[in-house]
Amino acid sequence: MKNFLRIRRKMGKFGKHKPIEFKQILPNMVTSGNLLCGVFSLMMTLHGRYIVAAWLVFFAVLFDGFDGKVARMLGGGSQFGLEFDSLADLVSFGVAPAILMYQVSVRELHLLGAVCACFFTLSVALRLARFNIVHVPGPFQGLPCPAGGLFVCSFVIATLMDNGVTVVGRRRLNDLKYSLCEYEEAYQIYC
C-alpha cells in the first residue's frame, strides 16, 4: 500500500496533462482526412475500383495541403502533428499509389512488378524520414511525396481511360456480351 501511495504522489506531480487545445486538434483532424483517403483508396483498389482509388489520392493531396495551412494559421503545429502527417503521407502517397500501380500496370511482371511497387513505397518512406530529420533552409529540395503519388495515379487514370470510357468498364461490357452470346448459342443447341 505504501508503494502505491508513493507512485500516486509521483503521478500527481508528473501525471497531470494539460488539456489539448482546439488549435492543435484541428490540423490533426484534417490530417486524418488525408489518412482516411489513403486507406479508402487501398480498399477501392482491392475491390477493383481503380479510377475511384486514384481520385481518392487526389483528395488526399487536398487534405495534405490544407492541414499545413490550418496548422500555420492557428499556430497549432506540434511534433505529434508532424509525425502523424508523415504517417498519413506514407499511406496516401506511398502505399496506396504503389498498390494501385501494381494492380493496374505491373501485375503481369510478377516479381519485378512487386519489386517496382515496393521500391516506390520505400522511396516515399525514406523521403519522409529525411524530411523530418534534415531541415534545409531556402527552397524546397527534392520531389514532394504528394507529387509522386499524383504522378502514379494520373498515369493509372490515363492508362484506364479511353475516350472517356474506362477500359475496365468496357471489358466488363464485353464479358457480358460474350456470356450472353454463349447463353444464346447454348439455348439454340438444346432447343
Statement: residue 4 has pLDDT above 60: no
Predicted structure pTM score: 0.75
Q: Is 165 helix (H, G, I), strand (E, B) or coil?
A: strand
Tens digits of residue pLDDT in 179-190: 545 545 544 555
Cα diameter, the chain: 92
Reported confidence tier of residue 162, pLDDT bands at 50, 70, 90: low
Statement: residue 146 has pLDDT above 60: yes
Statement: residue 117 has pLDDT above 80: yes
Amino acid occupying residue 38: G
Q: Is 78 helix (H, G, I), strand (E, B) or coil?
A: coil
Statement: residue 176 has pLDDT above 50: no
* Mean pLDDT in residue range 82-105: 94
* Mean pLDDT in residue range 117-121: 95
Tens digits of residue pLDDT in 54-93: 999 999 999 999 988 898 898 878 888 889 999 999 999 9
Q: In whole numbers, what is the pLDDT of the chain averaged over residues?
A: 80
Q: Which range has the worst mean pLDDT, 43-52, 80-89, 131-140, 169-178?
A: 169-178
CB atoms within 10 A of CB 35: 20
Q: What long-range pairs does 9-15 form, CB within 8 A, spacing at least 24?
A: none
Spatial separation of the C-alpha atoms in residues 154 and 157, rounded to whole Å: 5
52 CA to centre of own chain: 12
Spatial separation of the C-alpha atoms in residues 37 and 169, rounded to whole Å: 23
What is the pLDDT at residue 124?
94
What is the pLDDT at residue 52?
94
Instruction: Enumerate domains of the chain plus CATH numbers.
Output: 20-162 (1.20.120.1760)
The CA-based dihedral angle spanning residues 148, 96, 61, 142, taken in that order and rounded to the nearest 10 degrees = -30
